[in-house]
Amino acid sequence: MSTMNRQLRLKTRPEGLVQRENFDLVEQSLDELKDGEVQVRVLYISMDPTNRVWMRDIPQYMPPVAIGEVMRGLGIGRVVKSRSSHYSEGDLVQGITGWQDFLVFHDSAKGYVRLPADPGIPLPTLLGACGMSGVTAYYGMTDIAPVQAGETMVVSAAAGSVGSIAGQIGKIMGARVVGIAGGADKCRYLVDELGFDAAVDYKAEGWKQVLKEATPDGIHVNFENVGGEIMASVLSRMVIGGRVALCGLISGYNSDGRPGDNFGVIVMKRLIVRGFLILDYTKTKEAVHALAGWIREGKLKAEETVADGLENAPVVLNRLFDGSHKGKLLLKVASDV
């Protein structure tokens, strides 16, 4: 009996928020495996801002998802069939799984990582704090704009999957860390649970004054995830020679908006601004080892928001932009057995 595979294929390019109608949910039977091929049951899919970028027909670091293609997405799954000497049934596989129930790939394909059958860390954490989100934060904090003990660091989207880890790494390094997030609950979470020194609610009236009061000695490092007015406000508080790790500009991902062109403050304050992509990182094993160690030692807290159902992926993705999640946002496709 053949296995049926559900796939979410891009039907139309979204304008604004993603809609279910932008995708076709298609069922097709899987062919018998050929030599070297592996069949993986997708368990969790990572919901990332870059998913929204991939839907847009604009120049970017990877080709946009074409109309009719399975939506690209990172995920983790378990091998259920294998005709490869490199993968065995029961192995965990991490990589680009796509928005579908099953992934079939040849063992010569790049970008897939075989994990131990029992990694000792919850699968959602492997996609979050010990996955791309955590490694991105580690990369930014250690290679792009390292923060020194005693300095002040500000991180935007601080309650999200990358920002929450970046801020905690800043604390581990001895910095004063200020997080910017939307809503009083998230701000309390940053301070009371993650150990940030202060938090700024950008949805509250007078938040710019609160930012000023939280950074009396200026800002040495900005870990930027948002862009727009928030980034402009942070840059205005930076010290001469401050460093900016430009990780994302999520405020413009659902529109045709472009980053602001007010570079005067960058010149005036001689800021070092460096954009970066996790694709360029070459020390992933080092990062995962450090992150996992901090989690085991209780120095770093990992939190995930898990939604259910492959068919809900388009709507769940929007939670990245309305702020209705904490930590890493994931979609559970199937239970692990």
| Model confidence pLDDT, tens digit, residues 279-324 | 889 998 899 889 999 998 999 999 899 999 999 999 999 998 887 8
> CA-CA distance, 309 to 313, in Å (whole number)?
7
> CA-CA distance, 240 to 265, in Å (whole number)?
10
Residue 215 has a pLDDT of 98
| Model confidence pLDDT, tens digit, residues 213-250 | 999 999 999 999 999 999 999 999 999 999 999 998 88
| Model confidence pLDDT, tens digit, residues 139-165 | 999 999 999 999 999 999 999 999 999
Q: At 228, phi and psi to the nearest 5?
A: 65, -145
Average pLDDT on 130-145 reads: 94
Q: Please state, as a whole number, how many other Cβ atoms lie within 10 Å of the Cβ of residue 219.
A: 23
> CA-CA distance, 98 to 42, in Å (whole number)?
9
The structural domains of the chain, ordered by start, are 4-128+303-332 (3.90.180.10), 132-280 (3.40.50.720)
Mean pLDDT of the chain: 93
> CA-CA distance, 224 to 173, in Å (whole number)?
18
The token pair that represents 88 in the structure block: 């065995």
Question: Within 82-144, where are the H helices?
Answer: 123-127, 132-139
> Lowest-confidence range among 76-80, 216-220, 259-263?
259-263
pTM of the model: 0.82
The token pair that represents 107 in the structure block: 């063992």
Q: Which of residues 256 and 108 earns the better pLDDT score?
A: 108
Q: With contact defined as beta carbons under 8 Å apart, do 5 and 30 qualify?
A: yes
Q: Distance between alpha carbon 185 and the CA centroid of its chain, in Å?
A: 21
Q: In this model, does residue 253 exceed pLDDT 70?
A: no
Beta strands 198-201 and 176-181 are parallel
> CA-CA distance, 275 to 271, in Å (whole number)?
13
Average pLDDT on 103-122 reads: 88
